Structure 1
């Protein structure tokens, strides 16, 4: 089963992850949020494995562009999902669906443990 990798092609962390996967000859299918936005169904499925808080990238530019009022409305999965659907680039990336569960971000040790 090929991994499903979600992110934005020009994101440096996504580039590192894809390079690592390629170098380790691990098959994957890449889903670019710019061309193929995440759906509510996907967000809810991911949230069955990880918390909604783990999905929201509060360190990124997109989050910082929200007004303080908008930021304070993100208090639960429903409110987070509404903002993530409007701003897919606010989803931490890459997000990888693997047989061993959801992996977010790029951590070589975690990749070695869960993907090899």
Structure 2
């Protein structure tokens, strides 16, 4: 399975992640989920039981909905993320050795071992 980088092409952090992966020699398929939004089934397969680490806390919608103090079930998080994919923390690297949420160069390098 080829690794997939789920990202937003206009996001600087996502572009930095893509560049770091290229620098490390990790070839990825890029999925711009703002051009081709994630479906509920894809999120269901990816999200942990506690979806909190996958929530984009800088999203205006996150603040508007008061999600900081409101724990969500996985089903609630999926419904919100499908409705507004800005709620999904980015980028997300789906690699055969694991999933890395956010830009984490050390975690990317660890995938090489």
- The TM-score bracket by the shorter chain reads 0.7 to 0.9
Gaps of 5+ in 1: none
How far 1:78 sits from its partner (Å)? Answer: 1.2
The runs of 4+ residues in structure 1 deviating greater than 4 Å are none
Separation in structure 2 between the aligned mates of residue 12 and residue 61 of structure 1, nearest angstrom: 17
Gaps of 5+ in 2: none
1:36 counterpart SS class: coil
How far 1:61 sits from its partner (Å)? Answer: 3.3
TM-score (norm 1): 0.83
Separation in structure 2 between the aligned mates of residue 9 and residue 33 of structure 1, nearest angstrom: 9
Which residues in structure 2 correspond to 1:1-116 (within 5 Å)?
1-48=1-48, 51-64=50-63, 66-68=64-66, 71=67, 75-115=72-112
1:6 counterpart SS class: strand
Q: Give the CA RMSD over aligned residues.
A: 2.0
Aligned length: 112
Q: Which moved more, 1:54-63 or 1:37-46?
A: 54-63
Q: Which moved more, 1:2-11 or 1:71-80?
A: 71-80
**Residues 36-76 of structure 1: CA deviation (Å, up to 9, x unaligned):** 1011111110125x631111112333423x244xx477621
Tell me if structure 1 keeps the 8 A contact 2:9–2:15.
yes
